[in-house]
Structure 1
Amino acid sequence: MRTQVAIIGAGPAGLLLSHLLRLQGIDSMIVEARSRDYCENRIRAGVLEQGTVDTLNEAGLGARMQREGLVHHGIELLFGRELHRIDMTALTGGRSITVYSQHEVVRDLIAAALEHDQTLYFDAEDVSLHGLPSDAPHVTFKHRGVEMRIDCDYVAGCDGFHGISRASIPADVLRTYERVYPFAWLGILADAAPSKDELVYAHHERGFALFSMRSPSVTRLYLQCHPDEDLALWSDERIWAELRTRFENTSGWLPNEGHITQKSVTPMRSFVTEPMQYGRLFLAGDAAHIVPPTGAKGMNLAVADVRVLSQALAARYRDARTDLLDAYSRTCLERIWRSEHFSYFMTNMLHPSYDDTPFGNRMKLAELKYVTSSHAAAQSLAENYVGLPFAA
C-alpha cells in the first residue's frame, strides 16, 4: 500500500491529523495497536481550551460537542475553607473552556473517519517504522494475521508516551527533560449530578482535591494520593469521607454523592523530548510530551501539535515548501514549554508536598492568596488556562 502520510496511533492527535489533512487533499492511513472499543472508551481528561474548541468547529467536527459540551466561564480555587472564583471569560476578553471528555472527542473523530472512508487499521500487531532518515520511509505491521506494509512520504508518530514512534528514534538523537512528582491522583467517576457549574481546585493540608464533571449526570473527582496507593484500601465510604474533608468550606457547598463506577490512580509526570522530528518522522501529542493533569493541557497540546503539522504538510504538498516542516519541532516547543510551565505552576501551587518542608507548603498558600487577590496574577492564570491564541 502507499499513502502520503502514515499515522501511527488513533488517539485525538492521529485522528484529528488525518481529518485536517483530508481537508487539504492529503491522503493518509492510520495504524493503531489498540482496539476501536479501547480507543472510544478510555476515560481521559475532558477540559478543552478555546482554541481546541475552535479547531474542532472549524474542521466540521463540533456538532455533538456544541450540543453536549459544558461551557465554563470560570474556575474556583478553595483554600483556607474559602472559595475564590477566577472569572476567566472576563479576564481574557470573552474566552472560555468546554468540558467534553476526550473519549467523546475520539468517538466523533472515528465517526468522521469512517464516514469519509479513512483507511484505519485497529488491532495492529508488531508495528515497526523503517527508513525514517531516508526519503522513502515505510511502516510494517500485522493485521488479522496478514503481514502489511505502507510506503509513504512522511510518518506521524501519534501513539502516545509508550508507543513505538519515539522509541524508533536513535537514543543519541533525543534529549529528554522529565520531572516525576512524589504524588498521584486517585480519580473516580460517580453517578451523581454535578453540584456546581464550574471546576473546584482545592488545596487542603491533607492533600489536593478536584471537583469536575463529565456530563449533567456524572461527576469526576480526584484526590491527591501516593503514587503506589492501593485502591483496595479505598472503599467508597472512605473516598466520600475524604472528599468531604478536603472540600469543606464556609459556603456549605459539597459534591453530590452517588454510586462510584470507576476508580483509578494517575501518576504525575512532566516530560518533554527534543527534537520532535527525525528524518521523515514527526512526533505529536503524548509521544513527545506529557504534562501533569492539573493544568488541563494534555489533549490541547496534541491538538496544537497537529494544527502545526497539518499546515506544514499542506505547505509541502501545495507549494513545495519544506521550511514549515523543518521548523515543526521548534514551533511546537514554544507552546509546549509555556504549557509545561503553567502545568508545573498549578501542580506545585495546589498540592501540599509529602516531601516538602513546612516553609515550602506555606509558600504555596502565599501563592494562592496572591493569585486570588491580584488582578494581574488572576489574569495570567486565566489566559493560560483557557489557552493562548494560535499563531496566524
Structure 2
Amino acid sequence: MDRGFHRYYGLISGAMNYFDITQSKRRGLERVFARDAERVTPAKKEFYATDAFTDEALTMLRAHPADRPFFLYLAFNAPHWPLHAPPETIRKYENRYADGWSVLRRQRYQRMRQMGVVRDSWKLSPADGEDWDRLSDVQRQDLARRMAVYAAMVDRMDWNIGRLVASLREAGQLDNTLILFLSDNGGCHEGGPRGGDMRPDLKGLTGAVDSYRTYGRSWSNVSNTPFRRHKHWAHEGGIATPLIAHWPARRRTAPGALTDEVGHVIDILPTLCAASGAAYPSQFAGEMIRPHEGRSLLPVFAGKRLGQPRTLFWEHMGNAAMRRGRWKLVRAARSSWELYDLVADRSEIDDLADSHPARLERMQADWQTWAVRVGARPQKSSGVKRRSNTDS
C-alpha cells in the first residue's frame, strides 16, 4: 500500500508454497501474505495461489467504478518453484515429456522456426544438461513428472488469465483495456541438471503440497530454446522474454503479429503513462525523482518502429551485458567479456570479441560508465581466461 496502490493482495516475501504458505523452503522460515495493509494467512482448504490471485483481482475489478480507468498489476508467482499444481491439471501432461529434454528441445526449436518466432539463421545453442539416455528409468520418470507439473503451472496461469479476459469482455471493457503479459526472466536452472529438492523432509509426490522441488537446468535449457544460459545470467537465455500486448481499440497491426523491436522492462512505465495520459512526476514528498530511461512502446503497437537503435544495460550478481543496436556485450560473473551480433546470431554462439577489438573496448568503457552511474557492482579481478563458445 505504501507503493501507491489502493488495494493489495498477495505475497510480500519470496517464493511460496502454492497450497499452504506456512510450509516454506526452510523449516522455521515464515512467508508474509497480506490483504491491503493487514497481514493474513490464507485458509489452507482449497487454496491455490494462482487461482487466489485471480479471484482477488476479479473482485477488485468488479468493485471498481465502471466509468473510471484502472491499473491492475496481476503478478503471478507461477511458474516459479516449488513445482505445485492441481492434480487434474497435472494429468493433462503426465505423458508429454517422457522422451526427455534433448528430443523435446530440438522439436521446440523446429516449431519456433516454423512459427517465425526465431530466424533460421539463429542456431540451436549447445545443450546444457545431462544425457537423458544415461538416466535410470526411475530418474526419467521423476524428471518427466517435474516438467509435467511445470507445464501444469503454466496451464493454470493461462486459464486464470482467460478468466480475467472473460470478465473484462462481460463488462464491455476488453477492447479498450491495454493488457501486457511478460515474464521477468528466462527459465530457472536452480537445483542443478536434475532439479533440486528444497525440503527433503517433505515426502509427497512432486506437485503436491508436501513437496518443494525445482525442475532444474536440463529442463530450463528447453524453456530457453534456442538460447544459452538461464535466469541469473545476462545471456539471452536469462534476459530474453516475450511481451504480448492486447488492445483491440488502439491496435493497428494484424492480430498475432510479431515484431523484433527491442524493448525492456523499463519501457512499461512510459508506455502506461502514454496510454493513460498520465504525467510522470518530477518530485514526490518534496524530493526530486530521477527521470525514467525507458521509451513508450505505443508506436510498436501501431506497427511502427521506435527510431534510433537504443543502448541498454544489465547487471545481476556480477553477470553483465550491454546492447547497442545489433551488438551485444555480455559476460558471466568472473569471466571475460564476449561480443555478439544479435541480428545474425541471437543464440550467442559466434563470439566476435577477438575480431572486433575496438568495438569491444568502446562498449566495455560505456558499460563501466553506466555501472558507476547506477551503482552496479564491479567485477572483481579473477584472471579467468576467455571461455570457449560452447561453454554453457
| TM-score of the two chains, using structure 1 as the length reference | 0.27
Q: Which has the higher strand share?
A: 1
Q: Which has the higher contact order (CA 8 A, sep 6+)?
A: 1
| TM-score of the two chains, using structure 2 as the length reference | 0.27
